[in-house]
Amino acid sequence: MLKEILEEVRKKEPLIHNIMNRVSINDCANLLLACGASPVMADEEREAEEITASSAGLVLNMGMLSQRVIPAMMKAGIKANEMGIPVILDPVGAGISAFRRETVEKLKEVMHFSVIRGNASEIRALSGKREEGKGVDAAPCDQVTEENIEQMVKIARECSEQTGAVVILTGAMDVVTDQKESFLVLNGHPMMKKVTGTGCQLSALTAAYVAVCPEKPLESALAAVCAMGVAGEKAYARMKPEDGSGSYRIYLMDGIYQLNGEELEQYARYKKWKS
């Protein structure tokens, strides 16, 4: 299943429209090319609907949110919903300011998301919980560990129930859930946190995967999370003693570029959560 989704992206080359922050925009465009998709980054209100309409998937990424892009996000999301184009929300730093909390509420009111991807703070904020993350990175209390995994699944599932979206809650372990089923993904490497925007990259990758298989958002999201994690492990395995986070970032991109369906099936480590 994972294999088929990965290969479908390389075959269909889905066009993914991204309205997103300026920090990781280049990495996300390159990641989409690396996985076989085609990126278009455009956040001007006057063209947002038109560009979404020609795309197979839409990513709304709230990093570096500004008032200017909100109308473009609204119009693009509504248009995507009308046309059945999957919308992926990355609620970067959703809890760190009143402005972002308000914006999340507005987006939730007017559109439906196929998938929401965030760390624990962000997913909590999305459910209206007023806990605050530390900046845009996961706070120590957001670590997903063996000890708190049950609680993390609960948080993710609540968000899914409230929004109707598949929810990806990322951490040392990742949770992928809809209202019915939940998976834990064990792939990935701590080095990924030393590169800015790997979460954003996963959201973009998820959009590409869901775009080619929109009728199975849970499986597509699961495949994307595994793929990113496997690439992160492969990237770490390549590191030489003098390499650091700069080289790791490049190896991670190479990893997504090189990844094929067989490898993904072979190295994906996930399990169903029994609840």
Q: Which residues bind a second copy (CB under 8 A)?
A: 15, 17, 21-27, 29-30, 33-34, 38-47, 50-51, 54-55, 63-68, 93, 96-100, 132, 134-137, 193-197, 238, 242-247, 249-258
**188 touches 234 (CB < 8 A):** no
The CA-based angle 96-30-204, given to 5 degrees, is: 45
β-sheet bridge partners, residue 188:
none
The CA dihedral of 263, 189, 30, 195, to the nearest 10 degrees, is: -170
Q: How far is the CB of 13 from a second copy (least distance, A)?
A: 9
Q: How far is the CB of 88 from a second copy (least distance, A)?
A: 17
Q: How far is the CB of 3 from a second copy (least distance, A)?
A: 19
Beta strand 115-118 with 87-90 is parallel
128 versus 135: smaller Cβ distance to a second copy: 135
Q: How far apart (Å, rounded) are the C-alpha atoms in residues 129 and 134?
A: 15
100 versus 124: smaller Cβ distance to a second copy: 100
15 versus 227: smaller Cβ distance to a second copy: 15
**Residue 127, CA distances (Å) to 104, 151, 154, 162, 169 in order:** 10, 14, 12, 7, 13
53 versus 149: smaller Cβ distance to a second copy: 53
Both tokens of residue 203? 């959201």
φ, ψ of residue 132 in degrees (nearest 5): -110, 130
DSSP state of 139: P
Both tokens of residue 162? 């409230």
63 versus 218: smaller Cβ distance to a second copy: 63
Q: How far is the CB of 237 from a second copy (least distance, A)?
A: 9
67 versus 147: smaller Cβ distance to a second copy: 67
**156 touches 184 (CB < 8 A):** no
Q: How far is the CB of 156 from a second copy (least distance, A)?
A: 24
- DSSP labels, 107-126: HHHH---SEEEE-HHHHHHH
From the CA atom positions of the chain, what is the Rg in Å?
Answer: 17
97 versus 275: smaller Cβ distance to a second copy: 97
Q: How far is the CB of 110 from a second copy (least distance, A)?
A: 20
Q: How far is the CB of 239 from a second copy (least distance, A)?
A: 10
Query: What do you get for the CA distance between the two ends of the chain, in Å?
Result: 23
